[in-house]
Chain A
């Protein structure tokens, strides 16, 4: 038992952090809203860095790494708020040709969640659906889709789709169950990174911003909000890392409870931290110019994917006693 990052894991996070700093500064991320959320060249660069393929075997062009490493990568992507159907394309690597290499962008949804909001409709090449019976590739030519002109998150464009037919089978129920677990943990990891970024930007702002001739971070009313943001993030980190490790290590027992707890706590950390960050930033926090709202909106979006907080609390409760 050693629940700290190995030096390889630290190096992996550092490499993806550098990629994000170089390729996804916030002005570039914001600009992606104009192109449907995905820039093909940047998407391929992420693929080249192994974002989609890292869990595939070396024979399949991957790095044969585990869910723990994937979670660490998604944490860094969430920190930078990199848009696009990252989790779905990562899950599809090895199943949908071209996904691992970044040649095809794969989106997806869970079939329960009517009305069907298809994310990144103009960016994706393939749309997958997950339900209790398996994984399915939806024939998009047979979808009736109405574009959302005003999406909640400018970086998550969407269509409202009707007549969602089942499509062609891509996986059995066991595959679907595993995708839900992996998807929940990777989305949780992304939310964890967002929660950490929100804490950092709020702390930096509170050290700079002066009122009453003092940095506002010196006031306990603000300091305690920031302390709670940090604490929430660290609790979510323990949950997400443990769930990812649990998915890699069958000897630790069934992962369902750990995964549900991870998505639940990471989703809460991101949404609560985004709301707290808005408050700490004061009037600026309510402007389009400050990045906080982009994090808040993405947190709300992601809280609806791979199970809501309530869904996951119910899962944990069902496994108690």
Chain B
């Protein structure tokens, strides 16, 4: 067991830090809520800046525009990005964190060449078309139908919870290609261009009050068979690869950010007054924050263990469910602590002081984390059945 970064990692860290220091001021200011086009513009501009500097797709193959570095450098990257307060993956989290990695692992060479460099350059934004109104936790019961017609599939159905669909170019889409087969064996993974006729995006309003996700109505949408990733009816297996990234590595940047947020919360607690004392003088509250910090530290070390293991196998395993389950419930408890620190300032999503509004918005946003990408209950089933070997 060795937790020391290599000299190479440290050199990378120093270079990256210097680059971020000079690059960050050139980025346009944060955009207004609900201005999705501006949000896309800012996020993809940052992605292009990363690409031009050689910091896009840290562990993606160099042949497709990535840096071709070790996963450990990816961790260093997230640590530095969050420390500097630089943007996260933003509107293209699907492309960068799970559609892209799935394409690397499963797609044909021409598909890789077509999409991977474009994702890294900020030219292609992706969204996810997995869930349906009747297929949530029971995703394999999905009903969106794809019927072969010559060199195309003709698709009819409805998808839901599709984040940033309104500014996406492509969608990773799960469709049913064999309705007669058992439900897990009749599914196919497709690349859907969002400008295809028959694709209708209808934004949904979330508890935050904004509309980052949408419903997707698909009406006689023609997608070339050449857009299929993996074999026909083998899409469930490909989706499991997507999940291994979505549940595993895609939370890593979020976790790095959570550590910074907790430090911010402590700073706020030290200045918010409660009568004659500060929130930080409240022994009970402070103890719970210390507890949460210990848990976050442990999870970050678990990520290092997962990365060390993945460095050998290439794909994060079911152990990802462990991190996903624990982190998402922890970040909600941290959100509760933030509301307790803010006290009456928590009535406002506008900043009452410092970044108080951000903590309130985050408390709302993280409600989704124990539901999305397999609810906490589904993760417990996976851990119980696949890791512990309990009967179904």
Chain A residues at the B interface, C-beta cutoff of 8 Å: 1-6, 9, 68, 199, 203, 206-207, 214-215, 217-218, 220, 223-224, 226-228, 230-231, 234-236, 238-239, 241-242, 244-246, 249, 251-252, 257-258, 260-262, 264-265, 309-310, 312-318, 320-321
Contacts of B34 in A (CB 8 A): none
Question: Contact at A1–B3, with CB atoms within 8 Å?
Answer: yes
Starting from the known contacts A227-B379, A227-B384, 11 additional A-B residue pairs (CB-CB under 8 Å) come to: A6-B1, A224-B381, A227-B325, A230-B388, A235-B298, A238-B305, A242-B3, A262-B298, A265-B295, A314-B283, A321-B280
Given known pairs A3-B301, A315-B290, the reply for A226 and B388 (CB within 8 Å) is yes
A318 → B minimal CB distance (Å): 7
Question: Contact at A223–B298, with CB atoms within 8 Å?
Answer: no
Question: Contact at A1–B380, with CB atoms within 8 Å?
Answer: no
Contacts of B25 in A (CB 8 A): none
- B348 beta carbon closer than 8 Å to chain A: no
Question: Contact at B294–A313, with CB atoms within 8 Å?
Answer: yes
CA distance A228 to B5 in the complex (A): 31
Question: Contact at A3–B289, with CB atoms within 8 Å?
Answer: no
Question: Contact at A218–B301, with CB atoms within 8 Å?
Answer: no
The binding surface of chain A is classed by DSSP as helix
A161 → B minimal CB distance (Å): 30
CA distance A203 to B387 in the complex (A): 11
Question: Contact at A234–B302, with CB atoms within 8 Å?
Answer: yes
Q: Which of B106-114, B210-218, B261-269, B356-364 contacts A (4 or more CB under 8 A)?
A: B261-269
Question: Contact at B3–A252, with CB atoms within 8 Å?
Answer: yes
- B291 beta carbon closer than 8 Å to chain A: yes
CA distance A309 to B360 in the complex (A): 29
Contacts of B290 in A (CB 8 A): 312-318, 320
- B149 beta carbon closer than 8 Å to chain A: no
**Number of A-B contacts defined by CB within 8 Å:** 170
Closest 5 CB pairs of A and B: A317-B290, A261-B294, A321-B266, A223-B384, A239-B298
CA distance A227 to B379 in the complex (A): 9
- B275 beta carbon closer than 8 Å to chain A: no
Question: Contact at A4–B308, with CB atoms within 8 Å?
Answer: yes
Kindly report which residue of chain B lies nearest to residue A214, judged by CB atoms.
B391
Contact residues, B345-392 vs A (CB, 8 A):
377, 379-381, 383-385, 387-392
Contacts of A257 in B (CB 8 A): 293-294, 297
CA distance A251 to B6 in the complex (A): 12
Contacts of A242 in B (CB 8 A): 3, 297-298, 301, 304
Question: Contact at A203–B390, with CB atoms within 8 Å?
Answer: yes
Given known pairs A203-B390, A224-B377, the reply for A235 and B5 (CB within 8 Å) is no
Question: Contact at A1–B291, with CB atoms within 8 Å?
Answer: no
Question: Contact at A226–B9, with CB atoms within 8 Å?
Answer: no
- B326 beta carbon closer than 8 Å to chain A: yes
B234 → A minimal CB distance (Å): 29
Question: Contact at A320–B391, with CB atoms within 8 Å?
Answer: no
Question: Contact at A226–B293, with CB atoms within 8 Å?
Answer: no
Question: Contact at A3–B308, with CB atoms within 8 Å?
Answer: yes
Contact residues, B82-133 vs A (CB, 8 A):
none
Contacts of A315 in B (CB 8 A): 290
CA distance A315 to B287 in the complex (A): 9
Kindly report which residue of chain B lies nearest to residue A244, judged by CB atoms.
B1
Given known pairs A235-B298, A264-B294, the reply for A241 and B1 (CB within 8 Å) is yes
CA distance A227 to B326 in the complex (A): 11
Kindly report which residue of chain A lies nearest to residue B382, judged by CB atoms.
A227
- B286 beta carbon closer than 8 Å to chain A: yes
Q: Report 19 cross-chain contacts, Cβ distance below 8 Å, ordered by A residue.
A: A1-B6, A2-B1, A2-B311, A3-B308, A203-B390, A207-B391, A223-B384, A226-B390, A227-B384, A235-B298, A238-B299, A238-B301, A241-B1, A262-B298, A265-B294, A309-B291, A312-B294, A320-B289, A321-B266
Given known pairs A218-B391, A314-B286, the reply for A321 and B263 (CB within 8 Å) is yes
Question: Contact at B299–A235, with CB atoms within 8 Å?
Answer: yes
Contacts of A224 in B (CB 8 A): 377, 380-381, 384
CA distance A248 to B299 in the complex (A): 21
Question: Contact at B388–A310, with CB atoms within 8 Å?
Answer: no
Kindly report which residue of chain A lies nearest to residue B319, judged by CB atoms.
A234
CA distance A4 to B71 in the complex (A): 14
